[in-house]
Amino acid sequence: MNETNIVINVGIGKLLAIIVSVCGTLIGGSWYISSKLTKVETKVGDFESRLTTLTGRFDLAYSSSSPISLKPKGNEFLENSGLKKYIEDKKDWLLSQCQSEHSMSNQYDIQESAFRFFDNLDFGDFETTLKDFAYKYGWSMETVRRIGGIYFRDICLIKKGLKPEDLDKPKL
């Protein structure tokens, strides 16, 4: 079988233009895809937050009505699991860490900061105990973390001179 060679003569200027065009298209496409993936991550994060709230409501751990508050079963978990004692024992450290990482200028910011802080808090060795209790209650660790976040939010509000029961009252 005979091979046929194809020879294309391209000047250096045109070759550079082709390379720049191809690279530009790849970079532009990558940027576009990256921005779309960021939007998806944001929506997934928001969905996860809503799912945590919904799960906690169904588990009767806390209410989702404003202000979000612990129900009797959530308070029971807080006490029995040792989570309340853990938070109380580390209150000053938790407050300083949360304040350094998050804005706490108003009631809404305080609540969101406490929730985000507890969503990512490293409980260390205590996490095993929390997981054991979560298993006994049939709850996810996200629900457990939200219970801790609600309790911690109330501590933060009190530290700022606010009462948790005043969350929905407009400031005059």
Give 115's contacts (C-beta < 8 A, 6+ positions apart). Answer: 49, 146, 149, 150, 153
Assign 62 to helix, strand or coil: strand
What are the tens digits of pLDDT across the range 7-40?
A: 777 778 877 778 878 777 877 777 677 666 666 5
Higher pLDDT, 114 or 45: 114
Q: Report whether pLDDT(152) > 80.
A: yes
Domains in the chain: boundaries: 47-166
With contact defined as beta carbons under 8 Å apart, do 42 and 36 qualify?
no
Q: Quote the tokens at residue 61.
A: 């751990």
Q: Quote the tokens at residue 56.
A: 């906690």
Range from 41-50, 60-69, 100-109, 159-168 carrying the lowest mean pLDDT: 41-50
Alpha carbon 15 to its chain centroid, in Å, reads: 48
Q: How wide is the angle at C-alpha 125 spanned by C-alphas 100 and 83, nearest 5°?
A: 70
With contact defined as beta carbons under 8 Å apart, do 132 and 143 qualify?
no
> Would you state the pLDDT for residue 161?
86
Please tell me whether the overall predicted TM-score, pTM, comes out greater than 0.75 for this model: no
For the beta carbon of residue 83, count every other beta carbon within 10 angstroms. Answer: 23
